[in-house]
Structure 1
Amino acid sequence: MPPATPRPPSRLRFIRAGAIATAAAGAIALSSFVAVPASQAAPADDLGSRFTLAVLPDTQFYSRYSADQFQPRYGKDPYQVQTEWLAENRDALNIPFVTQLGDIVDQSGQEREWVAADNAMRTLDDADVPYSTAPGNHDVRDSNDDLDDTAYDLSQEPFLKWFGPERAKNVSTYEGSDPTGLSQYHVFEAEGQQYLVLALSWRVSDATIAWADSVIDAHPTLPVILTTHQVIDIDSDAISPKETEYGLELWDKLITSNDQIFLTINGHFHGESHLVKTNDFGHSVTQIVIDYQMAYEGGDGYLGLFEFDLSHNAITVQTASPWVTWKPQEKLTSYDQPFLEGVNQQFVVPIDFAARFASFDPTFAVGPATQPSLSQKARDILLDGFTGPDPVSTEAPGNSDDYVDVAGTLAHWRFTGNSGVVAEGQSVPDVAGGNDLTRVGIAESGATNAEVGDVTIGSDHAYLSSDDASVCFANADRNNSRYSYLETSSDAPVNNESFDNGYTIESFLKIDKSWTASTNQWMMALIRAGNRNEMPGVPYDRWGNGGPVVLGLSNLKEFQWSVIPNEPGLGDRVNWSGEIQLDTWMHVAIVNDPATRATTMYVNGAPVLRNATDNVGQSFVPDAPWLLGAGMDSNQPGAGWNGCIGETRIVDHVLDQSEWLTARADLTGLTVVDAPEGSLPATTKLTTFSGTGLPGAEVRMSGSIAGTDVIDDDGRWSIVLPQALTAGAYEASVVQALGTRESAPVAFDFTIEGAAVANPGTTPTIPIDGADGSVALANTGAELPTGAIVGAILLALLGTTVLIRTRRRRASGLSGE
């Protein structure tokens, strides 16, 4: 996982050049491996010989943001909560050993991150829970793939200071380290059987591999679990395993020739997968990758619980989060789930332990059957007393007006009403007024390979956006000068806003499925034009030739919000998301709060982990436009967006989620004024029903009295009858609606006194169509001339009294005589 500062477009933090998507024919024995759901494991009440191996995948963001994000928000970080939970439940879950998979910290040169990691792992020290650690690429000072562990200046490596042999020797299972001190091995005992854990450093040398061979040779009867930061990857489908060049090197030089290695576990790659390979002895080796650093809150505390069920010949793997169940309920989001249930997150690996170990440990024996299902027990422990997040209402909009129109909206670009290719010079309106966007001509833009057809408006849009269209930018290629963009005019009011009272900027974004890092890394969706390095008072930023305000996507598919605040001397302030899915609509909200001097990025409603502090507002180049669909580099547009952009709004203050574009307009304020009650005198003549509601909504009245009206800009509505109501019993209900979405009805009924009729129980409907002065009767469908209406109603109505039913407080407003 790369650092959270802008990187040059040509540089990748970790290199997978030569990574092999599929291994050579016959190398992967997937047909011999059938993962079954964890629910098909042994019954919970079936006792067996069992233990749990606990796995801590990449903890880097927990360490990095412990002091400035997690501690202020929660009082602890997920790493600390993970280790506390493991220590507390070691006996209940029969946990003999915990292994950490590398990337202990995110920035190896930042001591505060090592302090956070030290605090977390010291919990295991204090509880005498054995564990292993090994450095990942973020734990060494130079993770260049061309270097191995013997190329480092070991006197400068912080891992050795914090987790080297001097610390490891105090762990009860520790047996030794390689000459660099970066790799280590442990021997733990569980259910009467010893196991060797070989924890290898990032990019081990041939010398370290020789050391690993010697360790295995010195323990010829022990099954070996190899843990290291990188072995296998996950394919683009986010499910299938993918071999890597380095993983194959480990396989060829160490794994396949050592039959004792039956299981490898690694992190590094975002997600999870597993496969089984066949070694030189014709035996299986299960390989598992698990890493959640790009999930909500840097991994949301997910760890692996590997239940070894020796009695039933299975390893049951489940992904669980002690952090989710520890957090206060009011801070939980829809992303906070105690367990992940995906195909590679809960599964069972069948393994006949005795048969698999027979070649080197023919005396292997199953321990006494005293343990129930430990996977089920872990679930019971985590769910005991847990209350999940409150349900989140995510109603689809009823129509294109179904959003919260807030005061302080400076610009709101919507694409409804447009379709097809966006011509050069064609404008998209700002519905807030004064800041229309116009497509810049190809010649003017400098995009020598762009085509007019690269920009289109179509009906594809996000589910929660009330704008039923979006603008899509196709064929963007940063290496081929192909990009397109829209911009505000030089005199647009929004160009010179400093946002001293904070801001809320929202957009719906989708990355095209054709996205690749080589062609689209650092592409931009929304920016303020200019060169931040030329702005007065701004500290020089070697990555900062772009605009003073940028919303874009990194080379690792992370959303980035980068801004020079209104105090330019503070320099760049950056927010980062986790990895974003391709071909999926995402809602992004950037909220700058002057009260806290913090900027928070929300993706689909959830705050990201890496947020910016100590900043208010925005610096800008006077009269420079806002650009939609491209960025700038050294005063030249480029870095075109490859995908679609939905409605985008800029507001001059902080909005909470109830006011975002994902929220629906409030339909609860409907009133009917002075609705008649009870039994009214025969002389009463009602001609009009009126009330208040949401401007622009349609009022629909149904029942004995029917009609519609549109609420005016002052929030008033009025339904006028074609003639005054005559004697009879009436009932009606009124709703206000935005398209398909309606409010709860306001219902009422009343009686106008009159003579009894011969046919009681029949109530007429009085529709408000009145075009020809006629009224239709609901019970017959007959249409009578106006002159006959009184007689018809008198024949149909009973003069009974029905009390009024209303749901809301009413003001004055029914008119009559």
Structure 2
Amino acid sequence: MDETTPRHLGRRSLLRAAVGAPAAVAVSSALWPGGVAQAAEPAGPVDPQDPRFTLAVLPDTQYLFDEGGSDPGPVRETLMFLLRKRREDNIVFLAHLGDVTEHGTEAEMRSADEVFRTIDGRLPYSVLAGNHDVSGDDQRGATPYLRTFGPDRFRRMPTYGGSSPDGYHSFHVLTGGGRQWLVLALDWRISERGIAWAQGVLDQHPTLPAILTTHEIASADEQGQAALSGYGDLLWNRLIRGNDQIFLTLNGHYWPCGRTTLTNDAGNPVHVHITNYQDRYYGGAGMLRYYRFDLVRNVIDVETFSPWLLGQRPEQRSALQAEHVELSGDVERFSVELDFDRRFAAFAPPVVPPPRPPSAVLVPGTVAYWRFDAAGTSPGPDGSPVAPGTVARDLTGQGNDLRAERLHGSAPEVLTWSAEHHDGQPAHASLRFDGGKAPNRGAVLRTGQDAPINGMPFLDGYTIETFIKLPEPFTGDHAFMGILSWEGRAGDAGKTSGWSPEEPTCSLNLSGERFLQFVVYPKHTDADPTSWSHALPTGRWTHVAVVNDARRTTVYVDGSPIARNASAESRGIATLGKPFVIGATQFALSYGHGFYGWVGDTRVVARALRPEQFLRN
């Protein structure tokens, strides 16, 4: 067309109240109303399993393919840049948003064809028609655009799933972050037959999150606030709002750029983005937009830049060129927060691994393993109280069974059965603790007085693992609540140089800032090496692993080592033959408040495990 440092923690104020894509299949462009192909890009220059991947977007290039006078060089450089950066940036696909050329002539299309041959067979992409490429709706018949960017061009791409019979609409299935995604590339103007085809594609790929690309959906004001155009309103009502799969739409056509978020019929957000720079210097200078998907952080990071200008020497750029190397306004550089699993749950619920039997996780050296499903105990209904005296068996058979106790005459709801669990947890069950201060309340699970784990020194190393979840909202004062520990006094083990002789010899706690604190008094050293984590999240499960290799201790959260691991030498645990406990930590041989949250499977192994051997895998 011509027209968005945590405060310092001391030793503690503590315990006084003591975490390969499938191969592509053959496609058919003659299917009506929709192709069934489940095409997916095979492994190659990108990593289809990496949770971080990039969708590249190229908007209106019409002023650079204009036989009246143009320079396709910036577009060629953009495409070459994508090839050079494909592996590094994990670029899985390129989407062109239409208006490839200024007049849609044979000569202009030949020029575009030559430039796009640069990436044929090397990077999958889609090119849809804009109003400067074609006129009328998708039943217009043959055009130079269709002869250049019709089905024959795309059918050899591993992502290509099929085209409508008229050839003006296509769909691609790409793989990124270990899952498949659908891209619908729709013509400038869709007919009833086109809508039926697009709906058919969605119906035959009902579990794939979909990105809809077309030339026109929305326009924006000078502040970047976007709103549907008249044609966009038709697409919204006939196709987008009723298909929960469509979570992102991308269009060019209008300037300035903009964005908005609409709510579909399922009550979920649909992100509507406009990308077009033809009004900028040098017809947009081959401006490229990156959509960097990050399935770990649950975010899409968006950035906009010109590879053509970026490739020039800084000292040789004019002021105007330097101004357009990259754009950083609110509609050019931003992040979209998106909980992918939650957003896609209605049509593609996360695949949760089935429960694993105890035999699958009883690795050599396992000292104790407790879980709170039928394999480890006799659980009551979800949310029902755990009766005092209830036994959680040690599934190693070594006699380290746990028994439930309520502290300080606490009410029954202080410890309840729960069906909640970490997705990677072997057992699909947990215990919900409702401990707290003022007045002290809580519950614990303790080993018996003669349990072997009570006095084990672990001189050859150890791994202590558990799964925890903190409530959302995280209300009340729960500073330095214990997660697990051994009972007893460090002073009784001859340890006098630590924070207090009244604290136990080994405990895993949570500070008021929700920092994990693992403190241990080694067997042969009068010291208390202490590790601190970052603030743990609330409302989601976390796997925690404490690994000691008989020299030093490393704490892992969700499989990653924390920064503040103790550097001091640490060998063994100065256990005193007193019970091992889940749910609280003693101080001066007395319990204060108990844990507040959920605890899942817990395992102790008498050797150091590697992260790939943890329970969460």
Q: For the superposition of Structure 1 and Structure 2, which TM-score range results when normalised by the shorter chain?
A: 0.3 to 0.5
Larger radius of gyration: 1
